[in-house]
Amino acid sequence: MNSRMLELMVGLFVAAGFAALFMMAMTVSNLTSYGTGDGYDIMARFDNIGGLKVRSPVAASGVRIGRVTAIEYDQERYEALVTMSIEPKYNKFSIDSSAAVLTSGLLGEQYVGLETGAEEDYLKNGGVIELTQSALVLEQIVGQFLYSKADEKTE
Amino acid sequence: MLLGSIEKLGRVTLSSVQRLGRGNIFLLQVLAGLSGMLRRPSLLIKQLYSVGVQTLIIIIVAGLFVGMVMGLQSYYALVDFGAEDSVSVMVVLSLLRELSPVVTALLFAGRAGSALTAEIGLMKATEQLSGMEMMAVNPVERVVAPRFLAGFISMPLLTAIFSAVGVMGAYLVAVELLGLDSGAFWSQAQAKVDLYDDLGNGMIKSLVFGFVVAWIAVFEGYDCIPTSEGLGQATTRTVVYSSLAILGLDFILTALMFGK
């Protein structure tokens, strides 16, 4: 095996390794949803965020428009404060937009759904959403159901 | 009799610790010899060929079959829940996170690691290494360091090729054989596989495994008893210790990387 053939095969081997890595990154990873470095931040307060996590998606009409960047507990108002980063091209949410914690699919992960309101002014960086709907907590629903059944019985 | 066994235990412990120390000192010598070796890249190329390129065929065949088997088994497991569209997610995640680094490292240790140990051990047994020292040529720099670096460089490349071929195999089985939708295959995987957390962590694992397997292989060769029986023992030790180290490190790395 002369040295030229050797070098050629080693070069092909290294190129094949990098090509495999590149192909994996392109076709089976979520590379395309990265790269939205900048975006404007808006905040929302919820009574209960359920299973929402940092980096959970933020969607409007089911289309992902941003991500949750921080979740904190506000001790002054005893509510959860969620900070979201929205892609800069989606900047037409009115200041009375509403946010709800929804579940994708039956047992899927939870996300924040945004719905625009009727005002003319739009949300900007640092804006706060006032109308929020908390996540459904299974125990509360079961409790409500049992109490309503008990009320029905006594009537 | 009892005293004899306790003495033996003490001897074995002491010799193991001494061996461990020799191994670490040897590692430092090899790392120091890397700088001198970079002046002669032809040595590295030759070793990359014998360690990397010649392991390629077994990695490709193994990757293909592992991917195909994973595709089949995932389908059988998921079809009962109506979740057969998630076959790609299951296969890609298990390949990228665990199977590719570990299986590639095990195959590499068996094929290339034992070859490295045998080469260096034979050079030691036929006194070529001492001959080099007499000629004022540093044998660690000339013989050992290229092999170590070749092993370290080849491992992540082979892991990437294993993953890619495995995913291709799973695609073949899922879409061509079992009739799943090809668009759903790729889009499900893209939604659930993270670039840094899954692909990146798998590659970090393969770098760690490459370092450890290459180190064990060259050390066992350099430190072997220079007889034919000693060489056989050294080759066996390379494969056994490398496999144990790979599996142990895999657990530690997984706990570090994927725990919350």
- Predicted local confidence at residue B248, as pLDDT: 96
A10–B52 CB contact, under 8 Å: yes
Residues of A in contact with B190 (CB under 8 A): 27-30, 32
Given A10, A16, A28, which is nearest B167 (Cβ)? Answer: A28
Given A10, A23, A27, which is nearest B49 (Cβ)? Answer: A10
- Predicted local confidence at residue A109, as pLDDT: 76
B49, closest residue in chain A (CA to CA): A10
CA distance B200 to chain A (A): 10
B53–A24 CB contact, under 8 Å: no
Q: Which tens digits make up the pLDDT trace of B19-31?
A: 999 999 999 999 9
Q: Are B23 and B219 spatial neighbours (Cβ–Cβ below 8 Å)?
A: yes
B90, closest residue in chain A (CA to CA): A28
- Alpha carbon separation from B23 to A10, A119, B20, B134, B220 (Å, rounded): 29, 72, 5, 23, 9
The overall average pLDDT reported for chain B is 92
- Residue ranges of alpha helices (H) inside chain B are 2-37, 41-51, 56-78, 87-94, 100-108, 114-125, 128-134, 139, 145-171, 182-192, 201-222, 228-258
Given B52, B164, B195, which is nearest A30 (Cβ)? Answer: B195
Give one DSSP letter per residue of B70-92, joined into a string: HHHHHHHHHGGGT-GGGHHHHHH
Given B56, B88, B195, which is nearest A31 (Cβ)? Answer: B195
A30–B53 CB contact, under 8 Å: no
**Contact partners, residue A111, CB within 8 Å, separation at least 6:** A52, A56, A57, A58, A59, A101, A102, A103, A104
A1: helix, strand or coil = coil
Helix B182-192 and helix B87-94, axial crossing angle in degrees, nearest 10: 50
Q: Are B117 and B221 spatial neighbours (Cβ–Cβ below 8 Å)?
A: yes
B206: helix, strand or coil = helix
Question: What is the rounded CA–CA span in Å between residue B122 and residue A57?
Answer: 59
A17–B161 CB contact, under 8 Å: yes
The overall average pLDDT reported for chain A is 86
Interface test with A, best of B43, B44, B45, B97 (most A CBs within 10 A): B45
The most confident of the ranges B36-40, B72-76, B196-200 is B72-76
- Predicted local confidence at residue B190, as pLDDT: 85
Indicate whether B69 pLDDT > 90.
Answer: yes
Sole residue written with tokens 């979201």: A84
Q: How confident is the model at residue B252 (pLDDT cuts 50, 70, 90)?
A: very high
Sole residue written with tokens 């992960």: A109
ipTM (interface pTM): 0.81
A7, closest residue in chain B (CA to CA): B45
- Predicted local confidence at residue B109, as pLDDT: 96
B190–A16 CB contact, under 8 Å: no
Q: Which tens digits make up the pLDDT trace of A89-139?
A: 888 888 889 999 988 776 667 889 999 888 888 888 888 888 898 888 888
Task: Identify the H or E element spanning A26.
Answer: helix A3-27
Q: Which tens digits make up the pLDDT trace of B113-164?
A: 999 999 999 999 999 999 999 999 999 999 999 999 999 999 999 999 999 9
Give one DSSP letter per residue of A39-90, joined into a string: -EEEEEEES--TT--TT-EEEETTEEEEEEEEEEEETTTTEEEEEEEE-TT-
Q: Is A100 left (phi over 0), alpha (psi -120 to 50) or beta?
A: beta
* B28 reaches A (C-beta below 8 A): no
Q: Are B190 and A29 spatial neighbours (Cβ–Cβ below 8 Å)?
A: yes
Indicate whether B234 pLDDT > 80.
Answer: yes
A113: helix, strand or coil = strand
Task: Give the pLDDT mean for B192-211.
Answer: 91
